[in-house]
Amino acid sequence: MTFDLALVLDLLGCFFFAVSGSLLAVRNGFDLVGSVLLGSLVGLGGGVVRDLILNAGPPAAFSNPLYLAAPLLAAVVVYFVVGGVKRANRLVLTFDAGGLALFCITGALKALDAGMNAAAAILLGVTTAVGGGILRDVTANQVPSVFDPKTMYAIPALLGSALATGLWYLGWLNLATGTTAAVLVFTLRLLGLKFGWHAPLAARSWARPRFLRG
């Protein structure tokens, strides 16, 4: 996978996450400025954290204007396309899953290209994928998706990062395999939402919360 392709996937992930942030702004009744800011937080946040950890100079979000264009475009698209709050609720989850799928791949790839080992690359892929969502949800005053016991969030990102890392070491990571890995993460995230899949609770002895009881 070339750097240019990694850049394209990174920008797509930024756009998908930014759309989820702008949609959440719609759901919460924010104005257009709030939409741009919330979209920027989720679209750029994970990548900024990744680049700071890699210590590879200024984060790409501040050195490449294309990254700033993604949340602006997302806010404009949401402004003209989304017709109602109910529709926004569904679309937030869909676009968030798309951003998660792309960022876990690009995060792991950039770590590997920077010379980090496999374990570090997987962890950085997950960090890139969930970091922006945490900033978005905290800013919007809701429980971050990564801590929501009703669904899986970090697990699909972990599997995607591990798959991308394995493919990279085997020399099989290219457009087709990278896209396939992202599609698998996206599908797993949406299936988890549909069927209520979730990780075990933090303590086996604790009573299951009411919303998890069948």
Q: Which two tokens stand for residue 176?
A: 């087709």
CA 116, 120, 124, 126 torsion: positive or negative? positive
pLDDT tens digit sequence for 134-185: 999 999 888 888 888 888 899 999 999 999 999 999 999 888 898 899 999 9
Query: Based on the number of CB atoms within 10 Å of its own CB, is 58 exposed (0-12), middle (13-18) or buried (19 or more)?
Result: exposed
Give the CA distances from residue 190 to residues 91, 98, 182, in Å, rounded to whole numbers and listed in that order. 11, 10, 12
Fill in the DSSP letter of residue 28: T
* 3-state DSSP assignment of residue 171: coil
pLDDT tens digit sequence for 106-130: 999 999 999 999 999 999 999 999 9
pLDDT tens digit sequence for 81-113: 876 655 677 888 999 999 999 999 999 999 999
What is the reported pTM? 0.88
- Taking the CB of residue 62, how many other CB atoms lie within 10 A of it? 13
